[in-house]
Structure 1
Protein backbone atom coordinates (compact mmCIF):
# COMPACT_ATOMS: atom_id res chain seq x y z
CA UNK A 1 0.00 0.00 0.00
CA UNK A 2 1.18 3.50 -0.77
CA UNK A 3 1.72 5.82 2.19
CA UNK A 4 -0.14 9.14 2.21
CA UNK A 5 3.06 11.01 1.32
CA UNK A 6 3.82 8.66 -1.57
CA UNK A 7 0.33 9.12 -3.02
CA UNK A 8 0.65 12.88 -2.69
CA UNK A 9 4.01 13.00 -4.46
CA UNK A 10 2.86 10.56 -7.14
CA UNK A 11 -0.38 12.33 -8.04
CA UNK A 12 0.40 15.89 -6.86
CA UNK A 13 -2.71 15.93 -4.69
CA UNK A 14 -4.02 14.43 -1.46
CA UNK A 15 -5.69 11.04 -1.32
CA UNK A 16 -8.99 12.80 -0.55
CA UNK A 17 -8.71 14.93 -3.70
CA UNK A 18 -7.84 11.90 -5.81
CA UNK A 19 -10.80 9.88 -4.48
CA UNK A 20 -13.24 12.72 -5.14
CA UNK A 21 -11.82 13.31 -8.60
CA UNK A 22 -12.12 9.68 -9.66
CA UNK A 23 -15.63 9.51 -8.19
CA UNK A 24 -16.70 12.45 -10.36
CA UNK A 25 -15.24 10.94 -13.53
CA UNK A 26 -17.08 7.69 -12.75
CA UNK A 27 -20.37 9.38 -11.91
CA UNK A 28 -20.34 11.50 -15.05
CA UNK A 29 -19.15 8.54 -17.14
CA UNK A 30 -16.32 10.54 -18.64
CA UNK A 31 -14.17 7.45 -18.11
CA UNK A 32 -15.05 3.77 -17.85
CA UNK A 33 -13.20 0.71 -16.63
CA UNK A 34 -11.58 -1.29 -19.39
CA UNK A 35 -10.75 -4.98 -19.25
CA UNK A 36 -7.46 -4.57 -17.40
CA UNK A 37 -7.42 -0.92 -16.22
CA UNK A 38 -9.83 0.79 -13.85
CA UNK A 39 -10.89 4.41 -13.95
CA UNK A 40 -8.78 5.00 -10.85
CA UNK A 41 -5.65 3.67 -12.51
CA UNK A 42 -6.29 5.58 -15.73
CA UNK A 43 -6.45 8.86 -13.84
CA UNK A 44 -3.40 7.91 -11.78
CA UNK A 45 -1.41 7.28 -14.96
CA UNK A 46 -2.44 10.63 -16.42
CA UNK A 47 -1.72 12.53 -13.20
CA UNK A 48 1.64 10.80 -12.86
CA UNK A 49 2.60 11.92 -16.37
CA UNK A 50 1.55 15.57 -16.04
CA UNK A 51 2.49 15.89 -12.38
CA UNK A 52 6.08 14.80 -12.78
CA UNK A 53 6.74 15.33 -16.48
CA UNK A 54 7.31 11.59 -16.69
CA UNK A 55 8.50 9.76 -19.79
CA UNK A 56 6.45 6.79 -20.90
CA UNK A 57 9.30 4.43 -19.89
CA UNK A 58 9.02 5.57 -16.26
CA UNK A 59 5.23 5.25 -16.35
CA UNK A 60 5.55 1.79 -17.89
CA UNK A 61 7.83 0.66 -15.05
CA UNK A 62 5.62 2.20 -12.41
CA UNK A 63 2.26 0.83 -13.58
CA UNK A 64 3.46 -2.31 -15.36
CA UNK A 65 1.66 -1.67 -18.65
CA UNK A 66 3.02 -1.56 -22.18
CA UNK A 67 4.01 1.71 -23.84
CA UNK A 68 1.10 1.29 -26.25
CA UNK A 69 -1.35 0.96 -23.34
CA UNK A 70 0.13 3.96 -21.52
CA UNK A 71 -0.18 6.07 -24.66
CA UNK A 72 -3.78 4.98 -25.22
CA UNK A 73 -4.73 5.77 -21.63
CA UNK A 74 -3.05 9.18 -21.79
CA UNK A 75 -5.06 10.24 -24.83
CA UNK A 76 -8.28 8.77 -23.45
CA UNK A 77 -8.00 10.70 -20.19
CA UNK A 78 -6.84 13.82 -22.02
CA UNK A 79 -10.06 13.79 -24.06
CA UNK A 80 -12.16 13.13 -20.94
CA UNK A 81 -10.50 16.08 -19.20
CA UNK A 82 -11.99 18.44 -21.79
CA UNK A 83 -15.47 17.47 -20.55
CA UNK A 84 -14.32 17.97 -16.96
CA UNK A 85 -13.02 21.43 -17.86
CA UNK A 86 -16.49 22.57 -18.95
CA UNK A 87 -17.81 21.97 -15.44
CA UNK A 88 -15.02 23.38 -13.32
CA UNK A 89 -13.82 26.41 -15.28
CA UNK A 90 -16.94 28.54 -15.45
CA UNK A 91 -17.40 32.30 -15.97
CA UNK A 92 -17.85 34.58 -13.00
CA UNK A 93 -21.37 35.51 -11.93
CA UNK A 94 -20.22 39.17 -11.64
CA UNK A 95 -21.74 39.10 -8.12
CA UNK A 96 -18.83 37.60 -6.19
CA UNK A 97 -18.86 36.98 -2.48
CA UNK A 98 -16.64 39.25 -0.45
CA UNK A 99 -14.98 36.15 1.05
CA UNK A 100 -11.36 36.59 0.09
CA UNK A 101 -8.14 34.78 0.87
CA UNK A 102 -5.74 36.73 3.07
CA UNK A 103 -5.98 39.36 5.77
CA UNK A 104 -8.76 41.69 6.91
CA UNK A 105 -6.87 44.44 5.10
CA UNK A 106 -7.41 42.58 1.83
CA UNK A 107 -11.11 42.32 2.65
CA UNK A 108 -11.24 46.08 3.24
CA UNK A 109 -9.47 46.73 -0.06
CA UNK A 110 -11.99 44.69 -2.00
CA UNK A 111 -14.78 46.77 -0.51
CA UNK A 112 -13.07 49.88 -1.91
CA UNK A 113 -12.57 48.18 -5.29
CA UNK A 114 -16.20 47.08 -5.11
CA UNK A 115 -16.53 46.68 -8.87
CA UNK A 116 -13.58 44.30 -9.12
CA UNK A 117 -14.64 40.76 -10.05
CA UNK A 118 -11.21 39.20 -10.46
CA UNK A 119 -7.71 39.56 -11.85
CA UNK A 120 -6.51 39.01 -15.40
CA UNK A 121 -3.02 38.20 -16.63
CA UNK A 122 -1.01 36.12 -19.05
CA UNK A 123 1.32 33.27 -18.13
CA UNK A 124 4.05 31.65 -20.24
CA UNK A 125 4.11 27.85 -20.31
CA UNK A 126 7.03 25.86 -21.71
CA UNK A 127 6.29 24.30 -25.09
CA UNK A 128 7.97 21.63 -27.23
CA UNK A 129 7.88 22.95 -30.80
CA UNK A 130 9.23 21.61 -34.14
CA UNK A 131 12.29 23.49 -35.40
CA UNK A 132 10.45 25.04 -38.38
CA UNK A 133 7.91 26.75 -36.08
CA UNK A 134 10.08 27.75 -33.16
CA UNK A 135 10.36 31.35 -34.37
CA UNK A 136 6.68 31.79 -33.46
CA UNK A 137 7.07 30.46 -29.94
CA UNK A 138 10.60 31.39 -28.87
CA UNK A 139 10.76 34.30 -26.46
CA UNK A 140 13.43 36.93 -26.92
CA UNK A 141 13.69 37.45 -23.16
CA UNK A 142 14.58 33.87 -22.22
CA UNK A 143 15.24 32.10 -25.53
CA UNK A 144 12.74 29.35 -24.69
CA UNK A 145 9.71 28.17 -26.63
CA UNK A 146 6.51 28.94 -24.76
CA UNK A 147 2.79 29.07 -25.27
CA UNK A 148 1.05 32.19 -24.01
CA UNK A 149 -2.00 31.56 -21.82
CA UNK A 150 -4.52 34.24 -20.85
CA UNK A 151 -6.33 33.63 -17.58
CA UNK A 152 -8.80 35.27 -15.20
CA UNK A 153 -9.28 34.23 -11.59
CA UNK A 154 -11.56 35.39 -8.80
CA UNK A 155 -10.34 36.48 -5.37
CA UNK A 156 -10.39 32.90 -4.11
CA UNK A 157 -7.77 31.78 -6.67
CA UNK A 158 -10.41 29.99 -8.77
CA UNK A 159 -9.96 30.45 -12.52
CA UNK A 160 -13.06 31.68 -14.33
CA UNK A 161 -11.56 31.89 -17.82
CA UNK A 162 -8.58 30.45 -19.68
CA UNK A 163 -7.42 30.81 -23.26
CA UNK A 164 -4.43 28.54 -23.97
CA UNK A 165 -2.41 27.65 -27.04
CA UNK A 166 -1.22 31.05 -28.25
CA UNK A 167 2.27 31.48 -29.67
CA UNK A 168 4.85 32.63 -27.16
CA UNK A 169 5.59 35.82 -29.09
CA UNK A 170 1.92 36.90 -28.95
CA UNK A 171 1.30 40.05 -26.94
CA UNK A 172 -1.04 39.74 -23.94
CA UNK A 173 -3.23 42.59 -25.17
CA UNK A 174 -3.50 40.94 -28.59
CA UNK A 175 -4.70 37.71 -26.99
CA UNK A 176 -7.28 39.62 -24.91
CA UNK A 177 -8.55 41.56 -27.93
CA UNK A 178 -9.13 38.31 -29.78
CA UNK A 179 -10.85 36.75 -26.77
CA UNK A 180 -13.24 39.72 -26.56
CA UNK A 181 -14.01 39.93 -30.28
CA UNK A 182 -14.39 36.19 -30.95
CA UNK A 183 -17.52 34.69 -29.37
CA UNK A 184 -16.03 31.20 -29.64
CA UNK A 185 -13.74 31.97 -26.70
CA UNK A 186 -16.62 32.75 -24.31
CA UNK A 187 -14.96 35.60 -22.44
CA UNK A 188 -17.73 37.42 -20.59
CA UNK A 189 -17.27 41.18 -20.81
CA UNK A 190 -18.00 42.77 -17.43
CA UNK A 191 -21.18 44.82 -17.01
CA UNK A 192 -20.73 48.63 -16.84
CA UNK A 193 -20.07 48.74 -13.08
CA UNK A 194 -17.65 45.78 -12.97
CA UNK A 195 -14.06 45.29 -14.05
CA UNK A 196 -11.03 43.01 -13.97
CA UNK A 197 -7.77 44.12 -12.40
CA UNK A 198 -4.81 43.88 -14.78
CA UNK A 199 -1.38 45.38 -15.36
CA UNK A 200 -0.41 47.91 -18.00
CA UNK A 201 0.16 45.26 -20.63
CA UNK A 202 -3.57 45.81 -21.16
CA UNK A 203 -5.60 48.88 -22.05
CA UNK A 204 -7.11 50.94 -19.22
CA UNK A 205 -10.71 51.01 -20.41
CA UNK A 206 -14.19 50.03 -19.33
CA UNK A 207 -14.08 46.54 -17.88
CA UNK A 208 -10.32 46.54 -17.29
CA UNK A 209 -8.59 48.58 -14.59
CA UNK A 210 -4.83 49.07 -14.72
CA UNK A 211 -2.52 50.89 -12.29
CA UNK A 212 -1.13 54.37 -12.89
CA UNK A 213 1.81 54.39 -15.27
CA UNK A 214 5.23 55.73 -14.22
CA UNK A 215 4.24 55.27 -10.59
CA UNK A 216 5.74 52.77 -8.14
CA UNK A 217 3.85 49.47 -8.42
CA UNK A 218 5.94 46.45 -7.38
CA UNK A 219 4.79 45.23 -3.97
CA UNK A 220 8.41 44.79 -2.96
CA UNK A 221 8.92 48.50 -3.54
CA UNK A 222 6.59 49.32 -0.65
CA UNK A 223 8.31 47.14 1.96
CA UNK A 224 10.62 49.88 3.21
CA UNK A 225 8.80 52.97 2.00
CA UNK A 226 5.05 53.51 2.19
CA UNK A 227 2.99 55.30 -0.44
CA UNK A 228 3.55 59.07 -0.51
CA UNK A 229 0.59 60.19 -2.64
CA UNK A 230 -2.79 58.98 -3.86
CA UNK A 231 -1.42 57.44 -7.06
CA UNK A 232 1.07 55.34 -5.11
CA UNK A 233 -1.63 54.48 -2.59
CA UNK A 234 -3.83 53.27 -5.45
CA UNK A 235 -1.05 51.27 -7.12
CA UNK A 236 -0.11 49.59 -3.85
CA UNK A 237 -3.73 48.58 -3.19
CA UNK A 238 -4.28 47.52 -6.81
CA UNK A 239 -1.12 45.41 -6.69
CA UNK A 240 -2.17 43.67 -3.47
CA UNK A 241 -5.52 42.65 -4.92
CA UNK A 242 -4.19 41.72 -8.36
CA UNK A 243 -1.53 39.61 -6.65
CA UNK A 244 -4.19 36.89 -6.26
CA UNK A 245 -3.58 35.74 -9.82
CA UNK A 246 0.18 35.59 -9.24
CA UNK A 247 -0.54 33.38 -6.22
CA UNK A 248 -2.86 31.19 -8.31
CA UNK A 249 -0.15 30.84 -10.98
CA UNK A 250 2.29 29.98 -8.19
CA UNK A 251 0.06 27.13 -6.99
CA UNK A 252 -0.26 25.83 -10.57
CA UNK A 253 3.46 25.75 -11.26
CA UNK A 254 4.29 24.26 -7.86
CA UNK A 255 1.77 21.45 -8.35
CA UNK A 256 2.48 20.74 -12.01
CA UNK A 257 6.19 20.86 -12.97
CA UNK A 258 5.12 19.91 -16.50
CA UNK A 259 4.15 23.56 -16.98
CA UNK A 260 7.82 24.50 -16.74
CA UNK A 261 9.12 21.54 -18.75
CA UNK A 262 6.47 20.20 -21.11
CA UNK A 263 6.40 16.58 -22.30
CA UNK A 264 6.96 15.87 -25.97
CA UNK A 265 3.48 15.44 -27.44
CA UNK A 266 1.70 17.23 -30.32
CA UNK A 267 1.12 20.92 -29.52
CA UNK A 268 -2.66 20.56 -29.35
CA UNK A 269 -2.17 18.01 -26.56
CA UNK A 270 0.26 20.35 -24.83
CA UNK A 271 -2.51 22.92 -24.86
CA UNK A 272 -4.97 20.36 -23.45
CA UNK A 273 -2.53 19.45 -20.66
CA UNK A 274 -2.35 23.10 -19.64
CA UNK A 275 -6.14 23.39 -19.56
CA UNK A 276 -6.38 20.18 -17.53
CA UNK A 277 -3.97 21.58 -14.95
CA UNK A 278 -6.13 24.67 -14.54
CA UNK A 279 -9.23 22.48 -14.18
CA UNK A 280 -7.70 20.22 -11.52
CA UNK A 281 -6.55 23.33 -9.66
CA UNK A 282 -10.14 24.63 -9.62
CA UNK A 283 -11.55 21.28 -8.52
CA UNK A 284 -9.28 21.07 -5.48
CA UNK A 285 -10.04 24.68 -4.53
CA UNK A 286 -13.81 24.59 -4.97
CA UNK A 287 -14.13 21.25 -3.17
CA UNK A 288 -12.48 22.86 -0.12
CA UNK A 289 -9.96 20.05 0.04
CA UNK A 290 -6.99 20.48 2.36
CA UNK A 291 -4.00 21.23 0.16
CA UNK A 292 -0.44 22.22 1.04
CA UNK A 293 0.11 24.49 -1.95
CA UNK A 294 -3.06 26.49 -1.47
CA UNK A 295 -2.23 26.76 2.24
CA UNK A 296 1.16 28.20 1.32
CA UNK A 297 0.12 30.59 -1.43
CA UNK A 298 -3.11 31.92 0.04
CA UNK A 299 -1.03 33.92 2.47
CA UNK A 300 -0.20 37.47 1.44
CA UNK A 301 2.87 36.71 -0.67
CA UNK A 302 4.93 39.38 -2.39
CA UNK A 303 5.96 38.72 -5.98
CA UNK A 304 8.52 41.27 -7.09
CA UNK A 305 8.01 42.50 -10.63
CA UNK A 306 10.98 42.95 -12.95
CA UNK A 307 10.61 46.71 -12.68
CA UNK A 308 9.68 48.66 -9.57
CA UNK A 309 7.66 51.11 -11.64
CA UNK A 310 4.72 50.10 -13.80
CA UNK A 311 5.96 50.91 -17.30
CA UNK A 312 8.66 53.31 -18.27
CA UNK A 313 6.98 55.48 -20.86
CA UNK A 314 8.57 58.91 -21.02
CA UNK A 315 5.44 60.50 -22.51
CA UNK A 316 3.32 59.90 -19.45
CA UNK A 317 0.28 58.02 -18.32
CA UNK A 318 -1.72 56.04 -20.86
CA UNK A 319 0.22 57.66 -23.69
CA UNK A 320 -0.44 54.86 -26.19
CA UNK A 321 -4.19 55.28 -25.73
CA UNK A 322 -3.99 59.04 -26.12
CA UNK A 323 -2.03 58.74 -29.35
CA UNK A 324 -4.65 56.42 -30.83
CA UNK A 325 -7.50 58.62 -29.61
CA UNK A 326 -6.00 61.72 -31.23
CA UNK A 327 -5.94 60.20 -34.70
CA UNK A 328 -8.47 61.59 -37.18
CA UNK A 329 -10.87 59.33 -39.06
CA UNK A 330 -13.04 60.23 -42.05
CA UNK A 331 -15.39 57.26 -41.91
CA UNK A 332 -18.43 57.96 -39.64
CA UNK A 333 -18.34 54.44 -38.24
CA UNK A 334 -14.67 54.85 -37.31
CA UNK A 335 -15.46 58.20 -35.69
CA UNK A 336 -18.27 56.64 -33.68
CA UNK A 337 -16.04 53.76 -32.62
CA UNK A 338 -13.27 56.10 -31.47
CA UNK A 339 -15.75 58.27 -29.59
CA UNK A 340 -16.95 55.19 -27.70
CA UNK A 341 -13.33 54.22 -27.04
CA UNK A 342 -12.59 57.62 -25.54
CA UNK A 343 -15.77 57.51 -23.47
CA UNK A 344 -14.95 54.08 -22.04
CA UNK A 345 -11.39 55.07 -21.26
CA UNK A 346 -12.46 58.30 -19.55
CA UNK A 347 -14.99 56.38 -17.45
CA UNK A 348 -12.22 54.19 -16.05
CA UNK A 349 -9.86 57.16 -15.60
CA UNK A 350 -12.50 58.88 -13.49
CA UNK A 351 -13.26 55.72 -11.52
CA UNK A 352 -9.57 55.16 -10.79
CA UNK A 353 -9.26 58.75 -9.54
CA UNK A 354 -12.30 58.24 -7.32
CA UNK A 355 -10.87 55.06 -5.80
CA UNK A 356 -7.44 56.65 -5.32
CA UNK A 357 -9.02 59.56 -3.49
CA UNK A 358 -11.02 57.30 -1.22
CA UNK A 359 -7.97 55.18 -0.39
CA UNK A 360 -6.03 58.31 0.57
CA UNK A 361 -8.92 59.57 2.70
CA UNK A 362 -9.17 56.22 4.50
CA UNK A 363 -5.45 56.29 5.21
CA UNK A 364 -5.54 59.85 6.53
CA UNK A 365 -8.51 59.06 8.77
CA UNK A 366 -6.48 56.34 10.48
CA UNK A 367 -3.57 58.68 11.30
Structure 2
Protein backbone atom coordinates (compact mmCIF):
# COMPACT_ATOMS: atom_id res chain seq x y z
CA UNK A 1 0.00 0.00 0.00
CA UNK A 2 1.19 3.49 -0.83
CA UNK A 3 0.09 6.90 -1.99
CA UNK A 4 0.95 8.80 -5.16
CA UNK A 5 0.17 12.35 -6.24
CA UNK A 6 -1.58 13.03 -9.56
CA UNK A 7 -1.97 16.58 -10.90
CA UNK A 8 -5.48 18.01 -10.85
CA UNK A 9 -7.05 21.22 -12.10
CA UNK A 10 -9.19 22.96 -9.48
CA UNK A 11 -11.00 26.23 -9.03
CA UNK A 12 -8.98 29.00 -7.32
CA UNK A 13 -11.05 28.74 -4.14
CA UNK A 14 -10.11 25.05 -3.81
CA UNK A 15 -6.40 25.37 -4.46
CA UNK A 16 -5.48 25.52 -0.78
CA UNK A 17 -7.12 22.18 -0.16
CA UNK A 18 -5.40 20.46 -3.10
CA UNK A 19 -2.02 22.19 -2.76
CA UNK A 20 0.72 19.69 -1.87
CA UNK A 21 4.26 19.95 -0.53
CA UNK A 22 5.62 20.03 -4.10
CA UNK A 23 3.77 23.31 -4.71
CA UNK A 24 1.22 21.90 -7.16
CA UNK A 25 -2.44 20.94 -6.94
CA UNK A 26 -2.99 17.19 -6.87
CA UNK A 27 -4.96 14.19 -5.74
CA UNK A 28 -3.32 11.95 -3.16
CA UNK A 29 -4.21 8.53 -4.59
CA UNK A 30 -3.95 5.59 -2.18
CA UNK A 31 -3.59 2.22 -3.87
CA UNK A 32 -2.96 -1.40 -2.96
CA UNK A 33 -1.28 -3.82 -5.34
CA UNK A 34 -0.24 -7.47 -5.29
CA UNK A 35 3.15 -8.96 -6.13
CA UNK A 36 2.06 -9.32 -9.76
CA UNK A 37 1.85 -5.52 -10.04
CA UNK A 38 -1.95 -5.52 -10.27
CA UNK A 39 -3.94 -2.81 -8.54
CA UNK A 40 -6.35 -4.46 -6.10
CA UNK A 41 -7.81 -1.35 -4.46
CA UNK A 42 -7.75 2.42 -4.91
CA UNK A 43 -9.07 5.35 -2.87
CA UNK A 44 -9.35 7.98 -5.55
CA UNK A 45 -9.58 11.73 -5.15
CA UNK A 46 -8.30 12.75 -1.71
CA UNK A 47 -6.94 16.34 -1.76
CA UNK A 48 -3.18 16.62 -2.23
CA UNK A 49 -2.78 18.42 1.11
CA UNK A 50 -3.84 15.25 2.97
CA UNK A 51 -1.25 13.10 4.72
CA UNK A 52 -1.19 9.40 3.77
CA UNK A 53 -2.59 8.46 7.18
CA UNK A 54 -5.53 10.82 6.65
CA UNK A 55 -6.26 9.24 3.25
CA UNK A 56 -6.24 5.78 4.82
CA UNK A 57 -8.69 7.00 7.47
CA UNK A 58 -10.94 8.41 4.74
CA UNK A 59 -10.91 5.09 2.92
CA UNK A 60 -11.68 3.04 6.01
CA UNK A 61 -14.41 5.41 7.23
CA UNK A 62 -15.90 6.10 3.80
CA UNK A 63 -15.88 2.64 2.25
CA UNK A 64 -17.81 -0.09 4.01
CA UNK A 65 -16.09 -2.63 1.75
CA UNK A 66 -12.53 -1.49 2.47
CA UNK A 67 -10.48 -4.72 2.21
CA UNK A 68 -9.06 -5.12 5.70
CA UNK A 69 -6.69 -8.10 5.76
CA UNK A 70 -7.49 -11.18 7.88
CA UNK A 71 -6.05 -11.33 11.40
CA UNK A 72 -2.93 -13.22 10.29
CA UNK A 73 -2.24 -11.04 7.21
CA UNK A 74 -1.10 -7.46 6.70
CA UNK A 75 -0.32 -4.78 4.15
CA UNK A 76 3.31 -3.72 3.77
CA UNK A 77 3.34 0.06 4.28
CA UNK A 78 5.93 2.78 4.69
CA UNK A 79 6.39 4.95 7.77
CA UNK A 80 3.74 7.39 6.53
CA UNK A 81 1.10 4.91 7.69
CA UNK A 82 0.31 3.73 11.22
CA UNK A 83 1.93 0.54 12.49
CA UNK A 84 -1.22 -1.24 13.63
CA UNK A 85 -3.23 -4.41 13.14
CA UNK A 86 -3.12 -5.31 9.44
CA UNK A 87 -0.46 -2.73 8.53
CA UNK A 88 3.23 -3.66 8.79
CA UNK A 89 5.48 -0.59 8.85
CA UNK A 90 9.30 -0.46 9.05
CA UNK A 91 11.35 0.33 12.12
CA UNK A 92 11.81 4.06 12.51
CA UNK A 93 14.81 5.98 13.77
CA UNK A 94 14.64 7.42 17.26
CA UNK A 95 16.48 10.16 19.09
CA UNK A 96 19.00 7.58 20.30
CA UNK A 97 19.21 5.31 17.29
CA UNK A 98 19.47 5.90 13.53
CA UNK A 99 17.89 3.04 11.57
CA UNK A 100 18.28 3.01 7.80
CA UNK A 101 15.36 2.06 5.57
CA UNK A 102 15.60 2.93 1.87
CA UNK A 103 17.36 0.49 -0.47
CA UNK A 104 19.74 3.23 -1.60
CA UNK A 105 21.04 3.43 1.98
CA UNK A 106 22.21 -0.18 1.72
CA UNK A 107 23.23 -0.20 -1.96
CA UNK A 108 25.56 2.76 -1.38
CA UNK A 109 26.58 2.01 2.19
CA UNK A 110 27.57 -0.70 4.64
CA UNK A 111 25.38 -3.81 5.13
CA UNK A 112 22.68 -3.91 7.81
CA UNK A 113 24.20 -3.51 11.27
CA UNK A 114 21.40 -5.17 13.26
CA UNK A 115 18.09 -7.01 12.94
CA UNK A 116 16.09 -3.79 12.58
CA UNK A 117 18.08 -2.59 9.59
CA UNK A 118 18.03 -6.05 8.04
CA UNK A 119 14.24 -6.14 8.41
CA UNK A 120 13.97 -2.66 6.90
CA UNK A 121 16.11 -3.69 3.92
CA UNK A 122 13.85 -6.67 3.22
CA UNK A 123 10.73 -4.59 3.88
CA UNK A 124 11.86 -1.88 1.45
CA UNK A 125 12.67 -4.49 -1.20
CA UNK A 126 9.21 -6.01 -0.92
CA UNK A 127 7.41 -2.67 -0.75
CA UNK A 128 9.18 -1.50 -3.91
CA UNK A 129 6.60 -3.47 -5.90
CA UNK A 130 3.98 -0.75 -5.33
CA UNK A 131 6.48 1.94 -6.34
CA UNK A 132 7.30 0.07 -9.55
CA UNK A 133 3.59 -0.46 -10.22
CA UNK A 134 3.02 3.28 -9.91
CA UNK A 135 6.04 3.81 -12.17
CA UNK A 136 4.66 1.62 -14.99
CA UNK A 137 1.23 3.18 -14.66
CA UNK A 138 2.43 6.79 -14.84
CA UNK A 139 4.97 6.06 -17.57
CA UNK A 140 2.40 4.44 -19.83
CA UNK A 141 -0.37 6.98 -19.31
CA UNK A 142 1.36 10.33 -19.82
CA UNK A 143 -1.92 12.13 -19.24
CA UNK A 144 -1.35 11.48 -15.53
CA UNK A 145 1.89 13.46 -15.51
CA UNK A 146 0.62 16.46 -17.44
CA UNK A 147 -1.37 19.31 -15.99
CA UNK A 148 -4.93 18.22 -16.85
CA UNK A 149 -7.33 20.10 -19.07
CA UNK A 150 -10.29 18.53 -17.28
CA UNK A 151 -12.19 19.24 -14.11
CA UNK A 152 -11.94 17.16 -10.94
CA UNK A 153 -14.73 14.73 -11.81
CA UNK A 154 -13.25 13.84 -15.19
CA UNK A 155 -9.73 13.58 -13.81
CA UNK A 156 -10.92 11.08 -11.18
CA UNK A 157 -12.41 8.96 -13.96
CA UNK A 158 -9.13 9.17 -15.87
CA UNK A 159 -7.31 7.75 -12.83
CA UNK A 160 -9.78 4.88 -12.50
CA UNK A 161 -9.83 4.13 -16.22
CA UNK A 162 -6.06 4.04 -16.61
CA UNK A 163 -5.69 1.76 -13.58
CA UNK A 164 -8.24 -0.57 -15.13
CA UNK A 165 -6.32 -0.57 -18.42
CA UNK A 166 -3.09 -1.19 -16.52
CA UNK A 167 -4.61 -4.31 -14.96
CA UNK A 168 -6.10 -5.44 -18.29
CA UNK A 169 -2.71 -5.31 -20.00
CA UNK A 170 -1.06 -7.17 -17.16
CA UNK A 171 -3.73 -9.89 -16.91
CA UNK A 172 -3.86 -10.35 -20.69
CA UNK A 173 -0.16 -11.26 -20.80
CA UNK A 174 0.47 -8.96 -23.73
CA UNK A 175 4.16 -8.30 -24.35
CA UNK A 176 4.60 -4.87 -22.87
CA UNK A 177 7.97 -3.16 -22.70
CA UNK A 178 7.07 -1.07 -19.67
CA UNK A 179 6.14 -4.13 -17.61
CA UNK A 180 9.09 -6.17 -18.89
CA UNK A 181 11.50 -3.45 -17.78
CA UNK A 182 10.06 -3.33 -14.27
CA UNK A 183 9.43 -7.05 -13.74
CA UNK A 184 13.16 -7.66 -14.02
CA UNK A 185 13.51 -5.72 -10.78
CA UNK A 186 10.76 -7.53 -8.86
CA UNK A 187 12.20 -11.02 -8.57
CA UNK A 188 11.86 -11.02 -4.78
CA UNK A 189 12.55 -14.20 -2.85
CA UNK A 190 9.29 -14.43 -0.95
CA UNK A 191 10.61 -17.31 1.12
CA UNK A 192 12.61 -14.72 3.03
CA UNK A 193 9.35 -13.26 4.31
CA UNK A 194 7.56 -16.43 5.34
CA UNK A 195 6.71 -16.54 9.04
CA UNK A 196 4.53 -18.91 10.99
CA UNK A 197 2.45 -16.12 12.48
CA UNK A 198 -0.65 -18.31 12.46
CA UNK A 199 0.80 -19.94 15.58
CA UNK A 200 1.35 -16.64 17.37
CA UNK A 201 -0.81 -15.81 20.35
CA UNK A 202 -3.07 -12.96 19.22
CA UNK A 203 -5.73 -12.73 21.92
CA UNK A 204 -5.84 -9.78 24.29
CA UNK A 205 -3.06 -7.96 22.44
CA UNK A 206 -3.56 -4.35 21.38
CA UNK A 207 -3.33 -3.65 17.64
CA UNK A 208 0.02 -1.86 17.83
CA UNK A 209 1.50 -4.41 20.24
CA UNK A 210 0.36 -7.29 18.05
CA UNK A 211 2.03 -5.84 14.95
CA UNK A 212 5.16 -4.95 16.94
CA UNK A 213 5.40 -8.57 18.07
CA UNK A 214 4.85 -9.74 14.50
CA UNK A 215 7.55 -7.41 13.19
CA UNK A 216 10.01 -8.42 15.91
CA UNK A 217 9.44 -12.13 15.22
CA UNK A 218 10.03 -11.65 11.48
CA UNK A 219 13.11 -9.52 12.18
CA UNK A 220 14.52 -12.21 14.48
CA UNK A 221 14.04 -14.93 11.86
CA UNK A 222 15.54 -12.84 9.08
CA UNK A 223 18.53 -11.87 11.22
CA UNK A 224 19.13 -15.50 12.26
CA UNK A 225 19.30 -16.45 8.58
CA UNK A 226 21.26 -13.40 7.44
| Cα pair 1:222 1:236 within 8 Å, conserved | yes
Matches of residues 129-168 of structure 1 in structure 2 within 5 Å?
A: 129-139=10-20, 141-168=21-48
Task: Sort the Cα spacing of 1:285 and 1:151 in 2 relative to 1 into closer, same or farther, 3 A.
Answer: same
Task: Give a deviation string over 1:35-93, Cα, whole Å, max 9, x none.
Answer: xxxxxxxxxxxxxxxxxxxxxxxxxxxxxxxxxxxxxxxxxxxxxxxxxxxxxxxxxxx
Matches within 5 A, 1:327-342: none
2: distance between equivalents of 1:358 and 1:245? 24
Query: Displacement, 1:348?
Result: 0.4
What is the CA–CA distance in structure 2 between the aligned matches of 1:342 and 1:178, rounded to whole Å? 25
Contact in 2 for aligned 1:262/1:270 (Cα 8 Å)? no
Q: CA deviation at 1:251?
A: 0.1
Query: What residue in structure 2 maps to residue 205 of structure 1?
Result: 84
Q: For structure 2, list consecutive stretches of 5 or more residues without a partner in the other structure.
A: 94-98, 187-202
Deviation at 1:299, TM superposition (A): 2.2
SS at match of 1:157: coil
Q: Tell me the matched-pair count.
A: 204
Decide which of 207, 210, 214 is 1:347's aligned counterpart: 210
Equivalent residue, structure 2, for 1:190: 69
The 1-side partners of 2:181 and 2:104 are apart by: 19
The alpha-carbon deviation at position 293 of structure 1 amounts to 0.3
Q: If you compute each CA radius of gyration, which structure gives the higher value, 1 or 2?
A: 1
Distance in 2 separating the partners of 1:182 and 1:341: 28
* Contact 1:198–1:209 (CA under 8 A) maintained in structure 2: yes
- CA deviations on 1:251-287 (whole Å, 9 max, x unpaired) are 0111011111143112111011011111110111111
Give the distance between the partners of 2:204 and 2:76, measured in 1 at CA.
19
SS in 1 for 2:42: strand
C-alpha RMSD of matched pairs (Å) = 1.6
Report whether the alignment pairs 1:176 with 2:60.
no
- Name the CA distance, whole Å, in 1 between partners of 2:155 and 2:111: 43
8 Å Cα contact 1:127/1:262 also seen in 2:
yes
TM-score, normalized by length of structure 2? 0.87
Partners of 2:149 and 2:80 lie apart in 1 by 31
For residues 129 and 362 of structure 1, the distance between their equivalents in structure 2, rounded to whole angstroms, comes to 52
What are the residue-to-residue correspondences of 1:1-367 with 2, within 5 Å?
120-139=1-20, 141-184=21-64, 186-214=65-93, 215-223=99-107, 224-300=109-185, 343-363=206-226
Higher RCO (CA-CA < 8 Å; seq separation 6+): 2
Secondary structure in 2 matching 1:263: coil
Query: How does the TM-score come out when normalised to structure 1?
Result: 0.54
Superposed CA offset, 1:98-119 (max 9, x none):
xxxxxxxxxxxxxxxxxxxxxx
Which runs of 4 or more aligned residues in structure 1 lie more than 2 Å from their structure 2 counterparts after TM superposition? 181-184
Q: CA deviation at 1:341?
A: 11
Counterpart-to-counterpart distance in 1, 2:100 and 2:204: 27
For structure 1, the residue ranges without an aligned partner over 5 or more in a row are 1-119, 302-339
Higher helix share: 1
